[in-house]
Structure 1
Amino acid sequence: MEHILSLSYGKDSLACLGAIEELGWQLDRIVHAEVWATDTIPAELPPMVEFKKTADQVIKERWGIEVEHIRSKYTYNDCFYMVCGEQKREAKSRFAGQIYGWPFRQGTWCNSRLKQHVFGKISKNTVQYIGIASDEPERFHNLSETKKSPLVAAGWNENMCRRWCEENGLLSPIYQNTTRGGMLVLS
């Protein structure tokens, strides 16, 4: 069984490295789902693009693992203009025939099309570590035998994750102005 960290470069997923180390859990690979606005423009702001390079170096030096960057076949631009109802389960939707447009907080098409399906390329014989903090019980339904949160197991809350990232030089510049990361979305 292979053990893979799903890395977003947010404080919680990066802090998983510390929790995994504290727990003594196995870690074989680290995978990041790259998201692009268009075929030539990343969906993240330049400071975040640079931070990811720096974080990759720290991870390689400290844990000896090279972060794998896997890219979706779709871009935000592709998904923005997709027509609802082109897939069987959406054909009866009240939005059938309309473009998806901007993602909503509920019904975020971008997560499934731009991030989650990328992990479908990974072997089914894996345990995937995801960055859910111990003070996010509303997200615990995402956990299972094959999807585990080292943060929940170690009892690390979001503040602890932030502190660990600060202490280890792995706090994204995105947290200078916000509590959550986000993507640049082009229309």
Structure 2
Amino acid sequence: MHYSLSWSGGKDSTASIILAHEHQEPLDSIIFVEVMYDLKNGISGENPNHIKFIREKAKPLFESWGYRVEILRATRDFLDFFSRVIEKPRKHMDHKGKKFGFPTYGRCGVKRDLKLKPMDDFYKTIDDEIIQYVGICADERRRLDSLHKQNNRISLLEKYNITEKMAKEKCEEYELLSPVYSYSKRGGCWFCPNAKLAEHREIKRIFPDVWEQFIGLENVPNVANNKFNVFGKSLYEINRELESEEVKLCRN
């Protein structure tokens, strides 16, 4: 039996590792998949502060506890995903021959292609039966109900009755709360349609050139999903809002 944990670096999966350590639960591998924005130029899709936390703080500590920590990457990146030509469009949608463009709100193909595939490829190298620890808290009943239908997945947070609030406190106790929680309630790719204004503000500040390239993708021709967030603001609208903030700060 091989016990593995898919680790995002967020509070729930990190608290699960801490619980395994505290209670001597079996844990053979910790898997973090780094989604890349631009693989060729080494630009991560993770917030720079978060990936630094993963590589320089959390990973070394977990390894000192005796755990195997693997940081995986797909062979493709977000720009590949954006430029992929659609060969089989969805029903009632005439998108054949167009570039895919931005991920669709609520239906992220990036996760399937750039996050799940490297993980699946890793698990194919394991000969033993695999049990996965999943970071679902004791007070997330709907998600737990779905989890209980899967025989090979376990929540240590449920086992030890850890709520979301308690998971965050557990990470703080070990000084393992990712810095992204200082301005966001979630982690994830910075180019995600679910990203909030505070996350965009941080990327514009840290990666100004990359941010300019990113918003410029809305001008690429022959794209099926040519707007960043069809249910909210476009990237140009978000950028204008951020620039307006900067002007106000300068005046003050």
Common fold by TM > 0.5: yes
Q: TM-score normalised to the size of structure 2?
A: 0.66
More displaced 10-residue stretch of structure 1: 19-28 or 109-118:
19-28
Q: 1:26 to 1:178 in 2, by over 3 A?
A: same
Instruction: Write out aligned runs for 1:1-187 (5 A).
Output: 1-39=1-39, 40-53=42-55, 54-61=57-64, 63-86=65-88, 92=91, 94=93, 96-97=95-96, 98-121=98-121, 122=123, 123=126, 125-140=129-144, 141-142=146-147, 144-185=150-191, 186=214, 187=217
Structure 1 residue 152 displacement after superposition: 1.9
CA displacement, residues 14-61 of structure 1 (integer Å, 9 cap, x when unaligned): 000123245542111111111100112111222112111211111112
Structure 1 residue 142 displacement after superposition: 4.3
- 8 Å Cα contact 2:4-2:132 kept in structure 1: yes
Q: 1:175 to 1:92 in 2, by over 3 A?
A: same
Unpaired runs of at least 5, structure 2? 192-213, 218-252
Structure 1 residue 93 displacement after superposition: 6.0
Report the AA paired with residue 7 of structure 1. Answer: W
Pairs aligned (count): 183
Distance 1:8 1:134 in 2: 18
Unpaired runs of at least 5, structure 1? none
Q: Specify the structure having the higher radius of gyration (Cα).
A: 2
- 8 Å Cα contact 1:84-1:95 kept in structure 2: no
Please give the secondary structure, in 2, of the residue aligned with 1:100: strand
Q: TM-score normalised to the size of structure 1?
A: 0.87
- 8 Å Cα contact 1:48-1:173 kept in structure 2: yes
Higher helix share: 2
Distance 1:99 1:137 in 2: 39
Structure 1 residue 94 displacement after superposition: 2.1
Q: 1:23 to 1:82 in 2, by over 3 A?
A: same
Distance 2:142 2:81 in 1: 27
Structure 1 residue 111 displacement after superposition: 1.1
Report the AA paired with residue 116 of structure 1. Answer: L
